[in-house]
């Protein structure tokens, strides 16, 4: 197992959120501020990249290649971390470039050149649009085309990055006595790492629609059978890149009770799910896994 790179600020703070706890009917609510990791714009992807990039550097990488949606937090964190390490970066993003006339129009979440995509470009990443092809196929070709490239899987989830969230769980155990952690689930390593350390019964995941089978994704990343996983699928709405009405309400609630800004795809769904789950636990930790730039990639009222 690699030693993580000494980048970012750890442990991340655990903050009390009494007004939000009262609004949600919880005895106690803490926010684990992984959005404040001082690397790559923060978030769970930055915590994972400390581990994944240690592996890349040990392999002699000069270029990081990865994939994501146009507003991918993982892609943005990879672009910024590559810059920090003096590595080149190729991001293979799904679909077409914004303003490309071939792009299918999605009224729910029109692609915007703002948000994470703006930051990807600012950090100097080369962006390749996968168009109608699967992004992982295009990424494998890009990696094969460049000497010294290191391919980071979708969402930055690999056995190496599971260790990053086992580390987060150990931080939490030292910070508070809690019943359950609430987390958004995409490619799975965040939940897998928390489950590996805390046990499945203490982790409540909310599916974001990013993976076809999130439970299989989490299980595949674990080395032993965790027992029954709690992954609630009630917040997907019409799909991954849609912003649902419960998510809008959750974004407003967090902002208006605690001045806490959540993102519209991941943490907004997890907060909407927590609000809709009265039996989530009495003392709850909510993992703020970042994603704030994604708010600025949404061109519709929140
Ligand atoms: C802000 C944010 N939270 C949570 C997740 C989900 O994490 P994981 O992919 O490890 O399941 C992501 C993944 O993209 C994310 O960007």
For residues 289 and 34, what is the distance between their CA atoms, to the nearest angstrom? 5
Assess whether the C-beta atom of 44 lies below 6 angstroms from ligand 1: yes
CATH for the stretch 14-42+157-297: 3.40.50.1100
Phi-psi region of 35 (alpha: psi -120 to 50; beta: other; left: phi over 0): alpha
Assess whether the C-beta atom of 67 lies below 6 angstroms from ligand 1: no
Percentage of the chain with pLDDT > 70? Answer: 96
CA-nearest residue, atom 13 of ligand 1 = 186
Atom of ligand 1 nearest to the CA of 187: 9
| Topology of the domain comprising 45-156 | Rossmann fold (3.40.50)
Which one of 40, 168, 186 would you pick to mutate in the ligand 1 pocket, going by the greatest count of ligand atoms within 8 A of its CB? 186
Assess whether the C-beta atom of 35 lies below 6 angstroms from ligand 1: no
Give the predicted TM-score (pTM) of the model.
Answer: 0.96
pLDDT on residue 280: 84
Q: How many residues does the chain have?
A: 302
CB 202 within 8 A of CB 180: yes
pLDDT on residue 108: 47
Angle, helix 44-58 to helix 73-85, in steps of 10 degrees: 50
Per-residue pLDDT of the chain (302 residues; tens, 9 = 90+): 789 999 999 999 999 999 999 999 999 999 999 999 999 999 999 999 999 999 999 999 999 999 999 999 999 999 999 999 999 999 999 999 887 667 666 544 456 789 999 999 999 999 999 999 999 999 999 999 999 999 999 999 999 999 999 999 999 999 999 999 999 999 999 999 999 999 999 999 999 999 999 999 999 999 999 999 999 999 999 999 899 999 999 999 999 999 999 999 999 999 999 999 988 889 999 999 999 999 998 877 88
- Span from the CA of 184 to the centroid of ligand 1 (angstroms): 6
For 225-248, the pLDDT digits (tens) are 999 999 999 999 999 989 999 999
- Span from the CA of 155 to the centroid of ligand 1 (angstroms): 7
pLDDT on residue 121: 96
CB 208 within 8 A of CB 199: no
Sheet holding 14-16, edge to edge: 14-16, 28-33, 283-288, 180-185, 203-207, 230-232
Which residues does the annotation mark as catalytic? 72
For residues 201 and 212, what is the distance between their CA atoms, to the nearest angstrom? 23
pLDDT on residue 105: 61
Assess whether the C-beta atom of 40 lies below 6 angstroms from ligand 1: no
pLDDT on residue 160: 95
Residue 19: both structure tokens together? 């007004």
The domain spans of the chain are 14-42+157-297, 45-156
Across 14-45, b (16+ Cβ under 10 Å) vs e yields beebebbbebbebebbbbbbbbbbebbbbbbb
Distance, C-alpha 97 to centroid of its chain: 22
CA-nearest residue, atom 16 of ligand 1 = 73
Assess whether the C-beta atom of 211 lies below 6 angstroms from ligand 1: no
Assess whether the C-beta atom of 184 lies below 6 angstroms from ligand 1: yes
Domain 14-42+157-297 matches domain 45-156 at the CATH topology level: yes
- Span from the CA of 189 to the centroid of ligand 1 (angstroms): 8
């Amino acid at each position: 197992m690699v030693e993580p790179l000494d980048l970012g600020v750890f442990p991340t703070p655990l903050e009390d959120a009494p007004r939000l706890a009262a609004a949600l009917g919880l005895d106690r609510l803490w926010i684990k501020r992984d959005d404040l990791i001082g690397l790559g714009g923060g978030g769970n992807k930055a915590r994972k990249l400390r581990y994944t990039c240690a592996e890349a550097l040990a392999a002699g990488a000069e270029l990081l290649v990865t994939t994501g949606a146009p507003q991918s937090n993982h892609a943005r964190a990879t672009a910024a971390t590559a810059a920090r390490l003096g590595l080149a970066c190729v991001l293979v993003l799904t679909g077409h470039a914004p303003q490309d006339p071939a792009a299918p129009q999605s009224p729910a979440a029109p692609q915007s050149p703002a948000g994470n995509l703006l930051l990807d470009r600012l950090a100097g990443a080369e962006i390749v649009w996968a168009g109608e092809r699967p992004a992982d196929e295009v990424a494998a070709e890009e990696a094969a085309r460049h000497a010294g490239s290191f391919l980071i899987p979708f969402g930055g989830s690999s056995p190496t990055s599971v260790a990053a969230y086992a580390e987060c769980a150990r931080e939490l155990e030292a910070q508070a006595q809690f019943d359950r952690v609430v987390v958004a689930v995409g490619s799975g390593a965040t939940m897998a790492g928390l489950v590996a350390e805390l046990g499945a019964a203490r982790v409540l995941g909310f599916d974001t629609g990013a993976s076809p089978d999130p439970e299989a994704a989490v299980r595949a990343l674990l080395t032993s059978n965790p027992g029954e996983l709690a992954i609630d699928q009630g917040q997907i709405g019409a799909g991954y890149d849609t912003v649902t009405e419960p998510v809008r309400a959750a974004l407003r609630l967090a902002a208006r009770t605690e001045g806490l800004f959540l993102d519209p795809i991941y943490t907004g769904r997890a907060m909407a799910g927590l609000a809709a789950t009265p039996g989530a636990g009495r003392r709850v930790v909510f993992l703020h896994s970042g994603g704030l730039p994604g708010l600025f990639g949404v061109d519709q009222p929140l």
